[in-house]
Amino acid sequence: MSLEEIWEKSLSLIEKKVGVNLFELWFKPIKLVQLKEQNASMEIPNRFYKEWIEDYYPNLMSDALGGVVGHPVTIKFKIAEKVDAELKKMDARLEGRKQRLANKGIHLNPKYTFENFITGPSNQFAHAAAVAVADSPGMSYNPLFVYGGVGLGKTHLITAIGNIIADKRREFNILYVSAEQFTNEVVAAVRHGKTEELKGKYRNLDLLLIDDIQFIENKNATQEELFHTINTLYERQKQIVLSSDRPPKEIKAITDRLRSRFSMGLIADIQPPELELRMAIIQKKAEIEKIKLTENVVAFLATKIKTNIRELEGCLIRLGAHTSLTGSPIDVDMARDVLKDIISDDERPVTVENILKVVSEFYGIKCQEMKSKKRTREIALPRQVAMYLSKQCTDASLNDIGKNFGGKDHATVIYACKQMEEKRAKDEDFDRKVQGLINRIKT
Ligand code: ADP
Ligand code: MG
C-alpha cells in the first residue's frame, strides 16, 4: 500500500468514529508524510490542531493507522505553520518534563499544575485541600476524595498534586492511574497469577492518585484489592488521592467498608464554575496560547458555555485554529459563526418544575416528596432550598411558588427564603452547595 492509500483508509475509519462535521474540520486537513515501521509523522496546519486532537481524541489516529497497517503506530506531529518562538519553547519544555517523568514511570500531564488552575467559590475548597495535601502528603487529609461533574477540573487538580510532589520530593514513588487502568491491572494479575507483583507495585508507593474511581462499581476483585491497598498505604502514612464524578455515598455498587475508607479523610467537591471563573479561565488560557480575544468575546464564550470547562477550552482552541488559518481576528460574530454547532442561542427559561428536579436529584429524594406534607428534616430542608431558589431564579410570584409545593401559602415561601438566607450567611459549606445548585439550574 502507498502512503496515500494507507492514510485514505485511516481517514475513513476516523470519519466513521467522529462524524462528518468534526472530521472535515479537524482531521481532513491532516497529512501523513512519513511512516517508518512504528513511527508515523503527520503534518497539521497549526498547534491548535495538535492540542485539540490530543485533548479529545488522543488515541484515535494511532488506532486507525495501526488498524490499517496491522501493527501499533506512534504518531509525531509536524506543524506546517511557523510557530511563535516562545510557544515553541514552552511546548518543548512541557514535552521534556513529561518525558523525564515518564522515564521514572510517572505519567502526568505537565500542563495540569496549580499555577494553571484558576480558583473561584465553586472550586476553592477542593483547591485548598489539594494544596494542603501537596504540601504535606500523608499528613493532612488522607485519603483526599475530590468529586464533581464532567470537565470541571478533577483530573487537573489531582494531577497538580502529583506534579508538584514529583518536583519537590524526587525520592517519592508516585503513581497516577485511572480506575479503569487499575481495574485492568487487577484483572490481568488475577488471571496470570501475578497478584504479588501487583501488590508490590501499589503498596510501596508514597503517593497514589486514582482518577474516576466510580469506575470500580460492581467490580468485586478490584474493590477488594483497592481496599487493602488503601489500608496499607494509610497505615504507612502514604498519601492517597481519589477523584470521582460523585460523592462516596452515591457510588452505590461498592462495599460499605470501601465506601467508609473513601470517606475517612476529606471529601471535597467541585461545583460548576460561576461566570467570573469561566471568564478568568478563558482569559488565562488565551494568554497561555497567545490567542487575542476582546472582552466581548470572553464574555460571549463564558455566557454561552456554562458547565463544562473542557468544552470552554475546546471552543477557544477552535477559535485559535480558525484565526490562525484565515488570519482574521476573533470577534463575537466570528465566534458565533465558528462555534454554531456547539453553542445554541435558545436560552431555556428557568421554571419551578426545573428547580424541583435539580434540587431533588441533588438531595436524593423524589420530586413528589417536596410537594407532599411531610415535615421530616430530609424533606423540609430540600423543600426550603427549592422554594428559595424558585424565588431567586424565576419570575414566579410567591403565591405561584407556594402552589408548586403542594399548596403552601406565600408566608411559607417568605419564611423559607429568610431561613435560607440566614443559613447561607452562617454556613459556608451550605452556601457553596446553594451556589452550585444555582449554577446548575441556570444551565
Ligand atoms: P474532569 O477530570 O473533572 O472531567 P479535567 O480536569 O479534565 O476535568 O478538566 C477539563 C479541562 O478544563 C482541562 O483542560 C483543565 O485544564 C481545564 N480546567 C478545569 N478547571 C480549571 C481551572 N479551575 N482552571 C483552569 N483550567 C481548568
Ligand atoms: Mg477527569
pLDDT bin (cut points 50, 70, 90) of residue 349 is confident
For residue 259, pLDDT over 80 is answered with yes
Distance (Å, rounded) from C-alpha 164 to C-alpha 13? 39
Q: In this predicted structure, what is the pLDDT of residue 344?
A: 67
Q: What is the amino acid identity at position 310?
A: R
Q: What number is the average pLDDT over the span 88-105?
A: 93
Q: Which residues line ligand 1 (CB under 6 A)?
A: 112, 116-118, 123, 148, 150-156, 281, 309-310, 313
Place of cell 452547595: 433
Looking at ligand 1, which residue's alpha carbon is closest to its atom 6?
Answer: 153
Q: In this predicted structure, what is the pLDDT of residue 190?
A: 94
pLDDT bin (cut points 50, 70, 90) of residue 346 is low
* Mean confidence (pLDDT) of the chain: 93
- Going from the Cα of 150 to the center of ligand 2, the distance in angstroms, rounded, reads 7
pLDDT bin (cut points 50, 70, 90) of residue 132 is very high
Ligand nearest, relative to CA of residue 277: 1
pTM to 2 decimal places: 0.78
Q: In this predicted structure, what is the pLDDT of residue 345?
A: 59
The pick from 125, 156, 275, 305 for probing ligand 1's pocket by mutation, whose C-beta has the most ligand atoms within 8 angstroms, reads: 156
pLDDT bin (cut points 50, 70, 90) of residue 440 is confident
pLDDT tens digits for range 188-218: 999 999 999 999 999 999 999 999 999 999 9
- The DSSP secondary-structure symbol of 213 reads G
pLDDT tens digits for range 3-16: 999 999 999 999 99
> Are 311 and 305 a contacting pair, CB within 8 Å?
yes
Distance (Å, rounded) from C-alpha 208 to C-alpha 102? 16
Q: List all residues 6 or more positions away from 152 whose beta carbon is below 8 Å from its beta carbon.
A: 123, 270, 271, 272, 273, 307, 308, 309
Q: In this predicted structure, what is the pLDDT of residue 245?
A: 94
The pick from 309, 317, 439 for probing ligand 1's pocket by mutation, whose C-beta has the most ligand atoms within 8 angstroms, reads: 309
Pairing of strands 239-244, 266-270: unpaired
Looking at ligand 1, which residue's alpha carbon is closest to its atom 18?
Answer: 153
> Are 201 and 233 a contacting pair, CB within 8 Å?
no
pLDDT tens digits for range 18-59: 888 889 999 999 999 999 999 999 999 999 999 999 888 989
Q: In this predicted structure, what is the pLDDT of residue 133?
A: 98
Residues facing 211 on adjacent strands = 178
Q: How far, rounded to the nearest angstrom, does the alpha carbon of residue 180 sit from its chain's CA centroid?
A: 16
pLDDT tens digits for range 380-410: 999 999 999 999 988 889 999 999 998 899 9
With 0-12 / 13-18 / 19 or more C-beta atoms within 10 angstroms meaning exposed / middle / buried, residue 284 is: middle
Distance (Å, rounded) from C-alpha 125 to C-alpha 375? 32
Distance (Å, rounded) from C-alpha 304 to C-alpha 312? 9
pLDDT tens digits for range 166-191: 999 999 999 999 999 999 999 999 99
